[in-house]
Amino acid sequence: MDMRWSPEELAFRDEVRDFLADKLTDEIRECGMLMTSVYADHERSMQWQQILYEKGWAGPAWPKQYGGADWTPVQRYIYTVERVRAGAPPVSPMGIQMCAPALLGFGTQAQKDFFLPRMLTGEHFWCQGYSEPGAGSDLASLQTSAADDGDFLICNGQKIWNTHANVANWGFFLVRTGKYDRPQKGITFLLIDMNTPGVSVRPIISYTGEHLQNEIFLDNVRVPKANVIGEIDQGWTVAKYLLEFERGGVAYAPELQVRLDQIVDAARETPTGGGGTLMDDPTFAVQIAAARVEINALEAFEFRVMNAEGRGDVPIAAASAMKIRGTELQQLTTELGMRVAGRYAMAYQPAAGLPGGPVTYPHQPDYIGPQFAALAPLRYLNERAGSIYAGSNEIQRNIIAKALGL
């Protein structure tokens, strides 16, 4: 495997750099630079998605016939590297990166023609309805029901930890349409208009004051069977396919490399009692070097996956492996960031960042200590969830063990 970019790939990198330099406004760049979780400020993220849509880049992996860019895995990787370095925010993954692959893989032509264009423009903004109070990591135990009623399914139940359900006008849900010998059977993948009578959303406000998560209640919600993706009772297959994109559809290493660079830059500006900076501390320097080695190893693995994907031969359980190492290293970098922040991390300053949803406090550009130190504890606390969401890392290890026949 040749890990050098080809002349065509280098030309694409230059095109991306020029585009970012031309189109990335200060306001949108600030949104990307002050993120405290995996989600950017909703309004500015949607502005950025519109810019990408006008360029034809809103759906990087989509086929061109549906308005996508049809980029190769390498092009998508290059774009991610340049986006993170430039400070551009990501677009919300729920529609374009998660529901869209399920539609492309299992949807009817009518479903693709209706939903995909509206995902790209942002007319439809999506949320996910998977987890329930009694069905988190053990997702197959979900109990939200969908009873047959002619051309409709009547849905009743509760979903939880639904990111951006408060602003979404569509959601993709897993519902139980039958009971069989295995809990994975009898689950259906269903698209629900969030404005349908009987759908209600209740906010879950985090300790940081952010409103990202929600509960969704379905009370006799009538959903056309035309909104079923795949076949009734066979939604587990669709869900597993989608989870591959949630767990490993985006490379982790580009952002991790930039994060570590930012930590090193901040450490070089952080004085110590001996007259030098934190980067002069041998113990801390070894920790930085060890983190760099781990991130480089992950990057090499992601290159291998890209190479295999280009041949149509993705390694077994690659998405699970990427999810485990990616989220573990995300947490590691925030721990190093806390070391740099030092005593300033004790001053909890949630208004220093720009989170991905409404907050109970306004953003404040003035804070105690350096900006990096003000953001460090916010990112540290948010990344604690990384090894839990999208299937806990313990579940991912079980998937890998099963794939290897262990």
Question: What's the CATH code of the domain at 384?
Answer: 1.20.140.10
44 and 169 assigned to the same domain: no
Q: Which two tokens stand for residue 224?
A: 């056309």
Predicted pLDDT at 115: 97
85 and 163 assigned to the same domain: no
- The letter for the amino acid at 406 is L
139 and 214 assigned to the same domain: yes
Domain boundary among 207, 235, 263: 235
Domain boundary among 174, 205, 235: 235
169 and 295 assigned to the same domain: no
Q: Which two tokens stand for residue 287?
A: 């920790």
Predicted pLDDT at 246: 47
194 and 293 assigned to the same domain: no
Going residue by residue through the chain, which has 406 residues, state the pLDDT in tens, using 9 for 90 and above.
Answer: 456 789 999 999 999 999 999 999 999 999 899 888 888 889 999 999 999 999 999 999 899 999 999 998 889 889 998 999 999 999 988 999 899 999 999 999 999 999 999 999 999 999 999 999 988 778 889 999 999 999 999 999 999 999 999 999 999 999 999 999 888 899 999 999 999 999 999 999 887 678 889 999 999 999 999 999 999 999 999 988 877 654 445 689 988 999 999 999 999 999 987 789 999 999 999 999 999 999 999 999 988 887 777 676 666 688 888 989 999 999 999 999 999 999 999 988 888 888 888 777 777 778 888 999 999 998 998 898 888 887 788 888 988 898 888 8
The SS3 of residue 103 is helix
DSSP 277: B
In this structure, is residue 312 part of a structural domain?
yes
Which residue shows structure tokens 């550009």? 365
309 and 333 assigned to the same domain: yes
Structural domain for 179, as ranges: 126-235
Selection from 96, 98, 139, 88 nearest residue 117 by Cα: 96
Domain CATH number, residue 135: 2.40.110.10
Predicted pLDDT at 2: 54
Predicted pLDDT at 3: 62
Give the integer Cα–Cα distance in Å for 19 and 226.
Answer: 40
Rg from Cα positions in the chain: 22
In this structure, is residue 45 part of a structural domain?
yes
Domain boundary among 235, 269, 303: 235
Which residue shows structure tokens 């919600």? 221
270 and 395 assigned to the same domain: yes
Predicted pLDDT at 360: 74
In this structure, is residue 97 part of a structural domain?
no
Give the integer Cα–Cα distance in Å for 358 and 136.
Answer: 25
- The letter for the amino acid at 359 is V
334 and 291 assigned to the same domain: yes
Give yes or no for a contact between 17 and 85, defined as CB atoms under 8 angstroms apart: no
Q: How many helices (H) and strands (E) does the chain have?
A: 13, 8
The SS3 of residue 321 is helix
289 and 367 assigned to the same domain: yes
Give the integer Cα–Cα distance in Å for 74 and 247.
Answer: 18
In this structure, is residue 216 part of a structural domain?
yes
Give the integer Cα–Cα distance in Å for 295 and 288.
Answer: 11
Q: Would you call 30 a catalytic residue per the annotation? A: no
Give yes or no for a contact between 235 and 259, defined as CB atoms under 8 angstroms apart: no
Helix crossing, 109-121 with 42-55: angle to 10°?
110
In this structure, is residue 144 part of a structural domain?
yes
Predicted pLDDT at 248: 45
285 and 366 assigned to the same domain: yes
Which one of 132, 210, 246, 302 is the catalytic residue?
A: 246
Give the integer Cα–Cα distance in Å for 309 and 378.
Answer: 35
372 and 322 assigned to the same domain: yes
In this structure, is residue 71 part of a structural domain?
yes
In this structure, is residue 202 part of a structural domain?
yes
The SS3 of residue 270 is coil
Give the integer Cα–Cα distance in Å for 196 and 194.
Answer: 5
Give yes or no for a contact between 133 and 158, defined as CB atoms under 8 angstroms apart: yes
Domain count, the chain: 3
Give yes or no for a contact between 29 and 86, defined as CB atoms under 8 angstroms apart: yes
Q: Which two tokens stand for residue 145?
A: 């029901």
Q: How many CB atoms lie within 10 A of CB 348?
A: 12
Give yes or no for a contact between 353 and 363, defined as CB atoms under 8 angstroms apart: yes
In this structure, is residue 245 part of a structural domain?
no
pTM over 0.75: yes
